């Protein structure tokens, strides 16, 4: 069964992504591998755009509902079952899916794993046997980006840039305040405090992971992060930031 899953992963994700990357590499003037990755990243993000917009809008909606959620938690603090039901009813009433962000992550993780393999082993000339019959083999893939950065090796600068884009991407989603006022009482919103902690943890974790991997992944992560920042800007401009 495990072999079947690997074969399914190879056919559905790895091979199509690898072939499309080679097609881009073949047609880009100068055959710049980094530019091919940038185009591939943008195309992937456009394909995921509807799902990612829903995730951002849901995140924004959840922040707006925090005062009401906190009130329900206080009101039914001794009845967890009633509390959960009331909160779910609130989500339904406001038409918010609290799991949309999780859905986006579940979609992106397999793609990221496939890209990891593409960038890790796809530069090996032996991997060119994975090309479809209608894709012209370049014979050899030059891993240099702008004739400077070897994308087959780790790169500190791209790893740090990935962490910075992750930071600003997460920071944009944070509300301005983590205090909710109800009458004379000020209640710290624990979920927002955790979000602020994640705003610092995720970038550091991203740098630590990417600093030892092929910098092609760092380039993908950086461009993907810039796309997310631009996307969130336009979503907030349209719907208003909470």
- Could you read off the pLDDT of 96-147 as tens digits, one per residue? 777 766 777 777 788 888 888 888 776 778 888 889 989 998 888 888 899 8
pTM: 0.81
Number of folded domains in the chain?
1
Write out the residue range of the structural domain in which residue 211 sits.
2-239
CA distance 153 to 30: 20
Q: Backbone dihedral region of 139: left (phi > 0), alpha (psi from -120 to 50 degrees) or beta?
A: left
Q: ∠92-98-99 over CA atoms, to 5°?
A: 120
How many Cβ atoms from other residues are within 10 Å of residue 190's Cβ?
Answer: 11
CB 187 within 8 A of CB 143: no
Strand pairing report for 185-188 and 179-182: antiparallel
Q: pLDDT of 211-224, one tens digit each?
A: 998 899 999 999 99
From first to last of its 242 residues, the chain has per-residue pLDDT tens of: 667 777 877 888 889 999 999 999 999 988 999 999 999 999 999 998 888 888 777 777 777 777 787 788 787 777 777 788 888 888 887 777 777 667 777 777 888 888 888 887 767 788 888 899 899 988 888 888 998 999 988 999 999 999 999 999 888 877 665 444 444 344 445 556 666 777 788 899 999 999 998 899 999 999 999 999 998 888 877 765 54
């Amino acid at each position: 069964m495990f072999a079947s899953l690997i074969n399914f992963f190879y056919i559905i994700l790895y091979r199509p992504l690898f072939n499309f990357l080679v097609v881009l590499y073949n047609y880009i003037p100068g055959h710049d591998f980094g530019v091919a990755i940038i185009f591939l990243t943008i195309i992937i993000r456009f394909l995921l755009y509807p799902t990612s917009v829903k995730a951002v809008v849901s995140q924004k909606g959840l922040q707006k509902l925090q005062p009401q959620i906190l009130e329900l938690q206080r009101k039914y603090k001794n009845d967890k079952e009633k509390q959960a039901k009331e909160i779910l009813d609130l989500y339904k009433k406001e038409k918010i899916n609290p799991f949309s962000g999780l859905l986006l992550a579940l979609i992106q993780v397999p793609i990221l794993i496939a890209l990891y393999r593409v960038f890790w082993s796809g530069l090996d000339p032996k991997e060119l046997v994975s090309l479809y019959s209608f894709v012209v083999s370049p014979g050899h893939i030059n891993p240099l980006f702008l004739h400077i950065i070897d994308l087959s090796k780790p790169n500190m600068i791209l790893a740090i840039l990935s962490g910075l884009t992750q930071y600003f991407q997460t920071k944009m989603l944070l509300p301005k305040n983590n205090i909710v006022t109800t009458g004379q009482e000020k209640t710290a919103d624990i979920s927002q405090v955790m979000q602020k902690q994640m705003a610092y943890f995720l970038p550091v974790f991203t740098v630590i992971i990417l600093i030892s991997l092929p910098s092609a992944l760092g380039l993908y992560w950086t461009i993907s992060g810039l796309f997310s920042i631009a996307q969130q800007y336009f979503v907030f401009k349209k719907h208003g930031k909470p």
